[in-house]
Amino acid sequence: VTSIPPIPGAAPPDLAEDLARRAGALCAIPSPIGHEQAICDEVERWARARFPAVRRVKNSLVVSVDPAPGPSAAAPRPLVALCGHLDTVPVHEEDRGPPRREGGRLVAPGASDMKGGVAVAMRLAEALPRAERFCDLALVLYAREEGPYLENELGDVLAEPGDLARAALALCLEPTDNVLQLGCVGSIHATFVFQGRAAHSARPWQGENAVHRAGALLAELHARAPREVTSGGLSFREVTSVTRIEGGRARNVVPDRCALNLNFRFAPGRGVDDAAAELSALGARHGAAVTLTDLSPSCPAFADHPLVARLRERTGIAAEPKQAWTDVARLAAHGIPAVNLGPGATAQAHQRGEWVELAALAEGYALYERFLRT
């Protein structure tokens, strides 16, 4: 058998297999949000056996892949952080079996969101030697991403950034179908409460209907088109939706209270305070009492950042706006520019029977390798 010469630029034949094996090993340790200790223990063991420094915070890890720059280092190399969460959404009942392979796919909860991405980051740290990279590397692997903003352990990790404080760029390997997604919209949840006065529904004039009082607000939001906002040359959409509504006690009683959950997604370049003020003014105009319940900042696109330019030049990948919230915003709020790029399929996140393509894992790895090579 004559050996086939490798095609220049093509992935080594074992790359997809190796990444599938790594991702499969991560998926074999279930880690629904709040249950990340076992997977964190395992990844910590892997990291301590290979790299000079590992910092554990609760069930989250900061792995310094390279030695810290000495005090004599005149110009230390830039530090790039590869970030990924270790948790998944709660496992669907029919997905409780072990990970399996189907054709060119790995099928398991978290395969796309985002253990495939974590596997790519782990292989990059292990297989791409420091001398062949333009930068130093850190891995940030953390717990409780799939829950409320304040419980996410990336917040705990960044509260004491350590050597992450010098990171020039962070890349989140969330599922993006290997497309560079820049920036992200911020998100505010608010409870709007309309008060009325109960009465018999045969004589509603003796009370005041709180559900009817919400009508003008609902009509205004129903008629409102998304607001296009350009940031970093990309177009984001500002949108406000009522996502829950509650009111009424009985079929024959005029409701005395109507409570709505509003979710406002606002564009990069806008602060949380400014966005909150817009929501409060909306409530005031319609006579609702407003309570803000969950405030997540937006993230700039960083389209002109030199390392983002390097990434685009080296890989030729397309860039699009992130019309959702991700932890790039939290990193940016701590002074670390951040973008999204990962091998998982966006449409597979949180799905039953979640899968990731082996070819997409290999492609994602190759993109990162081209970016990181000297």
**Helix or strand (DSSP H, E) at 368:** helix 358-372
Cβ proximity to Zn ion: between 114 and 182 the closer is: 114
- Point out the residue whose Cβ comes nearest to Zn ion: 113
Q: What does the buried/exposed string (b/e) look like for 59-74 if buried means 16 or more CB atoms within 10 Å of the residue's CB?
A: bbbbbbbbeeeeeeee
Q: Which is nearer to Zn ion, 6 or 90 (CB)?
A: 90
Structure tokens at 311: 């990434």
Q: Which is nearer to Zn ion, 113 or 256 (CB)?
A: 113
Residues 6 or more apart in contact with residue 230 via CB below 8 angstroms: 236
Contacts of 298 (CB under 8 A, 6+ apart): 183, 184, 185, 186, 266, 267, 268, 269, 270, 275, 329
- Furthest-apart CA atoms within the chain: distance in Å: 93
Cα(194)–Cα(36) distance, rounded to whole angstroms?
41
Sort 95 into a burial class: Cβ within 10 Å, 0-12 / 13-18 / 19+. middle
* CA–centroid distance for 277 within its chain: 25
**Nearest-angstrom CA–CA distance, 11 and 28:** 26
Sheet holding 100-102, edge to edge: 100-102, 105-107, 355-357
* Residue 145 known to be catalytic: yes
Query: Which residue number, 84 or 337, has a Cβ lying nearer to Zn ion?
Result: 84
Q: How far is CA 363 from CA 18, 138, 142, 182, 315, in A?
A: 13, 21, 24, 19, 11
Q: How far is the CB of 112 from Zn ion (least distance, A)?
A: 9
Q: Which entry of 36, 66, 87, 238 is annotated as an active-site residue?
A: 87
Our CB check for Zn ion shows the closer of 174 and 357 to be 174
CB of 114 to Zn ion, least distance (A): 5
CB of 117 to Zn ion, least distance (A): 8
Nearer to Zn ion, 186 or 196 (CB): 186
Give CA–CA dist 62/319, Å, rounded: 28
Q: Which is nearer to Zn ion, 83 or 366 (CB)?
A: 83
Q: Determine which one of 145, 146, 177, 363 is catalytic.
A: 145
Integer Cα distance of 173 and 360 in angstroms: 13
Q: Shortest gap between Cβ of 56 and Zn ion (angstroms)?
A: 21
- Which of helix, strand or coil describes residue 64? strand
CA distance 140 to 324: 21
User: Which residues bind to Zn ion, rule: CB under 5 A?
Assistant: 113-114, 174
Task: Output the smallest distance, CB 338 to Zn ion, in A.
Answer: 14
- What are the residue numbers of the active site? 87, 145
